[in-house]
């Protein structure tokens, strides 16, 4: 099978153990993750060949980050080593009504300062069938935006499927460009997008039609009209009960609307990467199931399972997802 290629920043994540607060931390648990690489790693775990493309500093932390994804079977051979530092983020894990917190320290990272010319997309994509990116990448820097733009163009030229999680994070856009100017051209090249109603409004000024019963379908329809390449809009919907208790379902619009039941997750072990697990599951499902509804259901269960796993990456097998899909949601011991 051909590769799914993902492109984006990988950061070192530093978390106090258990539910300790930042100021209580005498140690930080260290893992590596990024919104796009998490998708690749999830796919590798599901048996889909995956390659991630990124830029790390030429030091031991860059090496450790490479090894972290290499370990999961992701092809890291396209990594560019340049620049001075690995982006970091600090994560404090909340509980009950106390929210988890993230403190970013990613400015001026190697990835932010990447040289777009260092990525030979024709070479990178030559064994690929799919390119995935997120709205975080063009938010980081002009050069990151340029690199993914070139990647999308190459992918289109080479006939790959392109997917994006548009994921608008206002605080990230610091380099002088507005998301609203940059994102439309990039999204125009996509076949599949994850886009919430807020994202649609913030990025594209698309609001649900007045009085609609189905806001998600409404904004999805408008998105597909504006960007005719898009064939599927998907999203998770969360009913967050507390930092320790989540409920999620999946939504899909591909002309028609479909959705999954809600899945209940309590306790939540680690919510970071839940959306990436959803995307990874959806790509897997698209490549392996007959209908988008099956892919959607696979995706939301994969995401639910991710919430029970430490770290950014969804470490589940196809068999484990399918076990839950078949109704085994009670977590009975497997011997």
**Residues taking part in catalysis:** 276
**CA gap 14, 311 in Å, rounded:** 10
Residues 144-183 that bind a second copy (CB under 8 A): 169, 171
Among residues 13, 52, 78, 271, which is the contact residue for a second copy, using CB under 8 A?
271
Q: Tell me the torsion sign for CA atoms 332, 73, 70, 194.
A: negative
Q: How many residues bind a second copy (CB under 8 A)?
A: 84
95 binds a second copy (CB under 8 A): yes
Instruction: Sketch the per residue contact string, 236 through 265, with a second copy: x for CB under 8 A, - otherwise.
Output: ----xxxxxx-----------------xxx
116 binds a second copy (CB under 8 A): no
Residues 40-79 that bind a second copy (CB under 8 A): 59-61, 63-64, 67-68, 70-73
198 binds a second copy (CB under 8 A): no
Binding span for a second copy by CB under 8 A among 48-56, 95-103, 209-217, 279-287: 95-103
Q: Pick between residue 193 and residue 316 the one whose CB is nearest to a second copy.
A: 316
* Cα three-residue angle 295-32-54, rounded to 5 degrees: 80
113 binds a second copy (CB under 8 A): no
Q: Is 209 helix (H, G, I), strand (E, B) or coil?
A: coil
Q: How many CB atoms lie within 10 A of CB 167?
A: 20
Among residues 120, 180, 267, 322, which is the contact residue for a second copy, using CB under 8 A?
267
Among residues 144, 160, 192, 268, which is the contact residue for a second copy, using CB under 8 A?
268
Q: Is 130 helix (H, G, I), strand (E, B) or coil?
A: strand
85 binds a second copy (CB under 8 A): yes
Q: Pick between residue 209 and residue 309 the one whose CB is nearest to a second copy.
A: 309
Among residues 2, 98, 215, 226, which is the contact residue for a second copy, using CB under 8 A?
98
Does residue 254 contact residue 237 with C-beta atoms inside 8 Å? no
1 binds a second copy (CB under 8 A): no
Q: Could you tell me the smallest distance in angstroms from the CB atom of residue 162 to a second copy?
A: 26
Among residues 19, 215, 226, 237, which is the contact residue for a second copy, using CB under 8 A?
19
**Which DSSP string do the residues of 269-329 spell out, in sequence order?**
S--TTHHHHHHHHHHHHHHH-SSHHHHHHHHHHHHHHHTTSSSSS----HHHHHHHHTT--
Q: Pick between residue 209 and residue 325 the one whose CB is nearest to a second copy.
A: 325
CA 282 to mean position of chain CA atoms: 11
Q: How many CB atoms lie within 10 A of CB 199?
A: 23
Among residues 159, 210, 326, 335, which is the contact residue for a second copy, using CB under 8 A?
335
2 binds a second copy (CB under 8 A): no
Among residues 80, 124, 187, 304, which is the contact residue for a second copy, using CB under 8 A?
304
Among residues 88, 158, 188, 209, which is the contact residue for a second copy, using CB under 8 A?
88
329 binds a second copy (CB under 8 A): yes
Phi, psi of 6 (to 5 degrees): -120, 155
Q: Could you tell me the smallest distance in angstroms from the CB atom of residue 60 to a second copy?
A: 4
- The upper half-sphere exposure of residue 281, i.e. CA atoms within 13 Å in the direction of its Cβ, equals 35
107 binds a second copy (CB under 8 A): yes
**CA gap 325, 308 in Å, rounded:** 16
Local structure of residue 2 (DSSP, 8 states): P
334 binds a second copy (CB under 8 A): yes
Q: Which among 50, 49, 30 has a CA at the least distance from the CA of 40?
A: 50
* Cα three-residue angle 69-5-148, rounded to 5 degrees: 110
């Amino acid at each position: 099978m051909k590769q799914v290629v993902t492109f984006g920043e990988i950061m070192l994540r530093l978390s106090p153990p258990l539910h300790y607060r930042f100021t209580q931390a005498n140690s930080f648990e260290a893992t590596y993750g990024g919104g796009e690489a998490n998708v690749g790693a999830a796919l590798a775990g599901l048996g889909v060949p995956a390659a991630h493309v990124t830029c790390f500093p030429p030091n031991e932390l860059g090496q450790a980050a490479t090894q972290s994804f290499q370990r999961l079977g992701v092809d890291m051979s396209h990594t560019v080593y340049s620049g001075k530092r690995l982006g970091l983020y600090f994560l404090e894990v909340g509980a009950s009504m106390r929210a988890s917190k993230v403190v970013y320290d990613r400015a001026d990272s190697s990835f932010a300062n990447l040289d777009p010319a260092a990525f030979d997309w024709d070479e990178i994509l030559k064994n690929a069938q799919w390119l995935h990116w997120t709205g975080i990448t063009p938010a980081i820097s002009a050069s990151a935006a340029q690199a993914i733009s070139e990647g999308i163009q190459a992918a289109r030229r080479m006939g790959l499927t392109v997917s994006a999680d548009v994921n608008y994070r206002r605080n990230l856009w610091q380099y002088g460009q507005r998301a609203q100017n940059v994102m439309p051209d990039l999204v125009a090249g996509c076949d599949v997008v994850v886009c919430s109603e807020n994202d649609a409004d913030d990025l594209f000024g698309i609001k649900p039609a007045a009085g609609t019963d189905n806001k998600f379908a409404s904004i999805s329809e408008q998105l597909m009209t504006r960007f005719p390449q898009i064939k599927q809009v998907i999203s998770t919907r969360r009913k967050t009960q507390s930092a320790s208790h989540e409920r999620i379902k999946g939504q899909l619009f591909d002309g028609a609307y479909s959705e999954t039941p809600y899945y209940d997750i309590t306790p939540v072990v680690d919510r970071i990467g839940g959306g990436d697990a959803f995307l990874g599951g959806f790509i897997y499902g698209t490549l392996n199931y007959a209908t988008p509804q099956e892919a959607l259901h696979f995706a939301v269960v994969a995401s639910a399972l991710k919430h029970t796993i430490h770290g950014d990456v969804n470490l589940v097998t196809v068999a484990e997802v399918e076990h839950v899909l078949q109704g085994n949601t009670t977590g009975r011991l497997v011997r």
